[in-house]
Structure 1
């Protein structure tokens, strides 16, 4: 393939922080972004060539986007796969990942069924639609994680149900039709950013440890603090998952490592993912650059670790929604081993993702990093992140 610069224009459905970081990665490649998002002046707008204001399922707006670009992708699962497919066909522009893959992943029950049918290890799960049915499942499993089949993300739409008498309220909380999944006594949660390029090429980034609280990702540690057998199994399963999915791009593959050392797939995101933000500083090619390369059919960049890295999310620490002003930033800027990423959101509210910082091991080869190094990195990232606040002292 012949590549010349300036490069093509890429259309992105969604203009949140992922769209913003896609735009930051696109500019050095000579690629312009046009984003579509319902929020005027969305976070991606300052780094995009243009924004179309429209809903993620607005056929006219997505058609306008397709008419202006050379390829389409999305950074949010709320994009409508049927509308994307129709716009792609009408305007003759490719869309990646494949809308059919997006449709499968949007419904968590359908997603799990597709994985199980492919022989990929997953936790036990069952569809539930009534409180009575959920009560029976809770009794059988001894407690479950109830997940809304559609629309949930960042822990939203997930409700732990420990006893049968919690069933009715839990089902109401997730909005009805749901999937119940067995509680796992897991050792840790891990993630693999998988990559599919042209001609069936696949790559994976090093396995990452993800640390959640209240169902929201707080920190990621790369490489994972796990033994070699678990790492090998997670990488192997991630490649099996990629084989099930159609379309080029980055896929965030979330997994559990159980107390027995078994590795099971939790969920998949058909896009760059919070678990892979560390790749901006910690990998040879970031997940965002590689997503752009893959979607455009360009050669993929190397996914090697260049330094152990810990990412800590900067979340809203306020009591109610207010204008966003992040304070104590000078402490992070003064740190020679830290990089701060601000998502450009005007308002902050409790636990909203507002940015992240990444601390990298200085002067250390990734392969030589031991667990103590990563423990220290994690502690340092937390200290720097916890010094930031949106509260007005």
Structure 2
């Protein structure tokens, strides 16, 4: 693969916060950026050299992006995979469209992971209304019903805990109008994630395992290092590396996992891009996930991912933003604030995050609690 050197232009499909942070990291390395997003003055557009404001599905806009870019990447997986596929034929899209297509659909994702002997949550595809009832015999209760496409932060998901809720599941399935999947509910002790970088030369590096805490199905905190055993950490990293190698990833892939009560590692979901649970790397690792992504897609050697300090990353949602701004003078001197430049703040919308760095988890947790922002 030819190295895409600094001074070149990186095109980004998507103008959200991940694109913004990719651009900020890449500017330090000397790259230029152009983004395609339907929202004017998007978070990425604010820091890029230029924004094309158009729907992701508009081929004319995609061609304009391609004509202006030396390499194209995507910053979230709900961009149009058909557009990415077409761009592959005329432009350099090192991530490709195949992995994007797989991860856009939970059925394809689970089936592909299972075929690679990766431990996944037992599942079945809903083909008829009767499957929602018979899933009890196959998977037991409780189970989780999910839309195959489009869901994130808990959207498009229903936890069915007893027979009385079957009617709710059937009603949701009839209204959804999309393919759906049922997964066995896994009792777990922790939710983990591992981000792997892989370049076109096959070099791979993992970031430290993150322990993730969710509130109302939205990521609240990422704690690093994760409070797990060394053997559990090694297992999580091995599984993540196997996935990155099996899928021939170029760029980043985030693997979300469950650590079961029995100590097993089970893969839940994939994201073929930088990930919310990797934001801690911006301040706590020698190389951030965003710089690493640029290195990978541009054919550069991957950077060192050594953790420099224990850290807790805390998301700032719409309902937290005013408190954060009011209490900026109370933030510890080792806390790093990152805001995304979104114009409209609404409940549960991710507006930014704070990285709290310090010597111990206990000290960091105390700092967070004393601020009383997330209570």
TM normalised by structure 1 equals: 0.89
Residue 370 of structure 2 corresponds to residue 387 of structure 1: no
Q: Distance in 2 between matches of 1:375 and 1:138?
A: 42
Deviation at 1:334, TM superposition (A): 4.2
Tell me the equivalent position of 2:81: 81
Q: 2:155 corresponds to which residue? A: 156
Shift of 1:2: 8.8
- 1:208 Cα deviation after fit: 0.5
Please state whether the residue corresponding to 2:316 is helix, strand or coil: strand
Q: For the Cα contact (< 8 Å) 1:310–1:381, is it kept in 2?
A: no
SS at match of 2:28: helix
User: Which of residues 133, 143, 150 is equivalent to 1:135?
Assistant: 133
Structure 1 residues 173 and 260, CA, compared in 2 at 3 Å: closer, same or farther? farther
Partner of 1:306: 308
Unaligned runs of 5+ in 1: 319-323, 365-372
CA pair 249-222 structure 1, distance change in 2 beyond 3 A: same
* CA gap 1:143/1:166 in 2 versus in 1, 3 angstroms: farther
Task: Go from structure 1 to structure 2 and tell me whether the alpha carbon gap of 1:202 and 1:351 turns closer, same or farther (over 3 Å shift).
Answer: same
- Alignment deviations for residues 21-53 of structure 1 (CA, whole Å, 9 cap, x no partner): 111101110011101000011111121010001
C-alpha displacement of 1:326 = 6.2
Offset, 1:381: 3.1
The alignment's TM-score, normalised by the length of structure 2, stands at 0.93
1:349 aligns with 2:346: yes
Shift of 1:325: 5.6
CA displacement, residues 241-273 of structure 1 (integer Å, 9 cap, x when unaligned): 111223410111100000000000000000000
In the TM superposition, what are the counterparts of 1:40-79 in structure 2 within 5 Å? 40-79=40-79
> How many residues are treated as equivalent by the alignment?
371
1:367 maps to none
Secondary structure at 2:46 match in 1: helix
Provide the secondary structure at the position in 2 that maps to 1:12. Answer: strand
Could you report, residue by residue, the CA deviation over 1:188-216 in whole angstroms, capped at 9, with x for unpaired residues?
10000111113111110011101012111
Pick closer, same or farther for the CA change 1:5–1:160 going to 2, 3 Å: same
Matched position secondary structure for 2:319: coil
1:275 corresponds to? 277
C-alpha separation in 1, matches of 2:213 and 2:76: 22
Q: Which moved more, 1:373-382 or 1:39-48?
A: 373-382
SS at match of 1:257: strand
Any conservation in 1 of the 2:256–2:267 contact (CA below 8 Å)? Answer: yes
Q: Which residue of 2 aligns with 1:321?
A: none
Measure the CA separation in 2 of the matches of 1:161 and 1:212: 19
Deviates more, 1:200-209 or 1:141-150: 141-150
Distance 1:22 1:383, change over 3 A: farther
Q: Per the alignment, do residues 129 and 229 of structure 1 end up closer, same or farther by CA in structure 2, a change over 3 Å counting?
A: same
What secondary structure is seen at the aligned counterpart in 2 of 1:293?
helix
1:122–1:264 contact (8 Å) kept in structure 2 = yes
Q: Distance in 2 between matches of 1:296 and 1:5?
A: 7
Pair 1:209 & 2:211 matched? yes
Work out whether residues 342 and 356 of structure 1, in 8 Å CA contact, stay in contact via their aligned partners in 2: yes
Q: What is the aligned partner in structure 2 of residue 126 from structure 1?
A: 124
Q: Counterpart in 2 of 1:31?
A: 31
**Which structure 2 residues correspond to residues 244-255 of structure 1 after superposition, within 5 A?**
244-255=246-257
Mapped contact 1:66–1:88 kept (Cα < 8 A): no
